[in-house]
Amino acid sequence: MMRNLGVAAAAAAAAFAPPAFSQTTGSETVVVTADRMLDVQSGRLLDQPVVVITDGRIASVATGNARPLIPAGATRIDLPGKTIVPGLIDMHVHLTSNPKYGGYTGLQFTDSFWVAQAAGNSARTLRAGFTTVRNVGSDNYADVGLKQAIEEGWIEGPRIVPAAYALGATGGHCDETFLPPSFQRVSPAMGDSPEELKKRVREQRKYGAEVIKVCATGGVFSRNTEPGIQQLHEEELKAVADEAHFWKLKTAAHAHGAEGIKAAIRAGIDTIEHVSFIDDEGIRLARERGTWLGFDVYNTEYTLAEGKANGVLPENIEKERRVGTLQRENFGRAAKAGARMIFSTDAGIYPHGDNARQFAVMVRFGMTPLDAIRTATWNAAQALGREADVGAIAVGRFGDLVAVDGDPTRDVTLLERPAAVVKGGKLVTGRQGG
């Protein structure tokens, strides 16, 4: 297995001095070996990778005939026959949502139910190879709490970049749109002027949001909203973007309709999600501004097949029909035009853990497997502003990687069945030694 590691461990321990990390006593070193490694930046498959992970971060990467120095006492994760890729990143999930409870069926549960079941969703997401997710909207700061529980080691899950509540217009897609007025249920993150929205940004950040999500248009799964229709003025979107950027936070906009998409791009929002009805001008604007586009092109089939049985209302299924087909065509157009793309699936609308099924749909609608993998690794890391932490198997990044049984740049569906998942140098799931 360790064919090219002809190094005496004791000598190696003495010589081992990775640049950015000091070898303190009690530090933990893990060595991962495999047959091949996908370098997502160059797009090349490199042979015989040896990845040394010290205290959760990658200390060195050697490939081919290089003979890396292995510190004494290192834990080994040998993955013969496997190809390793960087831990995957889904830029649009809702870990507290569950597709089993559509429409009004969710009202039977108490508020904390959603957090309790989210623990299982988090574990499934991580075991599917998604070592980082951006949670773009949850009630009660549940995504902040989940992140804290994962970091404290109480539950298993990915690294989370939480948005907490999604901002939006009163009565818009991200408000509470399912209840009659006498229930007086209003989302606490609605704002109807630039000033109000600015305050909402500060409130979300205060309680743990690391990205600001705003709903720029109507949507599929709300009541009495139209996906194609804009719901915040451009100056309101600009207030959100400017205030978030002032606090060094990135922004994400839910936007289906062409005008709302363009307003959000011009306002300076960093990632546009759904993007269903984007027109040529929108694609051109996104390319000019370097705005990232995230098309959630997997979930349509799930909603159309399972939605009704799960309580999704006819109104919402009808909207899904209108959005799904055009969204996929426009995804293909944007990809062909060279727009910058991220991997955004809206997990929670379909079952958590099936995230990687979107790769095949992206390839079906015109993207190469390599570019599809990039959307969930290097592109996503850049869009998060965390390329120093995630998105590549490279020195300094977290030791997050996924092993698959063949070449995912030929068969992207291999990512649906990871042979092993490593997060921070710890084997989460998988078989060692083949």
Q: What are the distances in angstroms from CA 350 to CA 174, 304, 310, 416?
A: 19, 11, 11, 15
Q: Please report whether residue 357 would count as binding ligand ARG according to CB under 6 A.
A: no
CA–CA gap between residue 250 and residue 87 (Å, rounded): 21
**Residue 413 burial class via C-beta count within 10 angstroms: exposed 0-12, middle 13-18, buried 19 and up:** middle
CA–CA gap between residue 225 and residue 150 (Å, rounded): 35
Q: Please report whether residue 103 would count as binding ligand ARG according to CB under 6 A.
A: no
Applying CB under 6 A, the span of 19-27, 147-155, 219-227, 307-315 interacting with ligand ARG comes to 219-227
User: Least distance to ligand ARG from the beta carbon of 390, Å?
Assistant: 24
Q: Please report whether residue 320 would count as binding ligand ARG according to CB under 6 A.
A: yes
**Residue 117 amino acid letter:** Q
Q: Which is nearer to ligand ARG, 102 or 391 (CB)?
A: 102
Applying CB under 6 A, the span of 26-34, 70-78, 321-329, 334-342 interacting with ligand ARG comes to 321-329
User: Least distance to ligand ARG from the beta carbon of 317, Å?
Assistant: 11
Give the closest residue to 380 by CA, choosing from 131, 38, 16, 115.
131
Among positions 60, 231, 271, 300, the unique one binding ligand ARG when judged by CB under 6 A = 300
User: Least distance to ligand ARG from the beta carbon of 349, Å?
Assistant: 6
Angle formed by the axes of helices 194-206 and 234-246, to 10°? 30
CA–CA gap between residue 347 and residue 344 (Å, rounded): 8
- Binding mask 170-209 toward ligand ARG (x if CB under 6 A, else -) reads ----------------------------------------
Q: Please report whether residue 296 would count as binding ligand ARG according to CB under 6 A.
A: yes
Q: Which is nearer to ligand ARG, 48 or 316 (CB)?
A: 316
Applying CB under 6 A, the span of 120-128, 294-302, 355-363, 385-393 interacting with ligand ARG comes to 294-302
Applying CB under 6 A, the span of 82-90, 143-151, 316-324, 337-345 interacting with ligand ARG comes to 316-324
Applying CB under 6 A, the span of 95-103, 317-325, 380-388, 397-405 interacting with ligand ARG comes to 317-325
Among positions 87, 324, 408, 425, the unique one binding ligand ARG when judged by CB under 6 A = 324
Neighbours of 25 (CB within 10 A): 4
Q: Please report whether residue 323 would count as binding ligand ARG according to CB under 6 A.
A: yes
Q: Please report whether residue 216 would count as binding ligand ARG according to CB under 6 A.
A: no
Applying CB under 6 A, the span of 69-77, 142-150, 220-228, 245-253 interacting with ligand ARG comes to 220-228
The residue sitting closest to ligand ARG, measured at its beta carbon, is 219
Q: Are 62 and 68 in contact (CB under 8 A)?
A: yes
Among positions 141, 221, 292, 359, the unique one binding ligand ARG when judged by CB under 6 A = 221
Give the closest residue to 301 by CA, choosing from 273, 335, 278, 328.
328
Q: What are the distances in angstroms from CA 409 to CA 277, 291, 354, 427?
A: 29, 25, 19, 24
Half-sphere exposure of 115 (CA within 13 A, CB side): 17
User: Least distance to ligand ARG from the beta carbon of 197, Å?
Assistant: 20
Q: Please report whether residue 346 would count as binding ligand ARG according to CB under 6 A.
A: yes
Q: Which residues bind ligand ARG (CB under 6 A)?
A: 219-221, 227, 274, 296, 299-300, 320, 323-324, 327, 346, 349
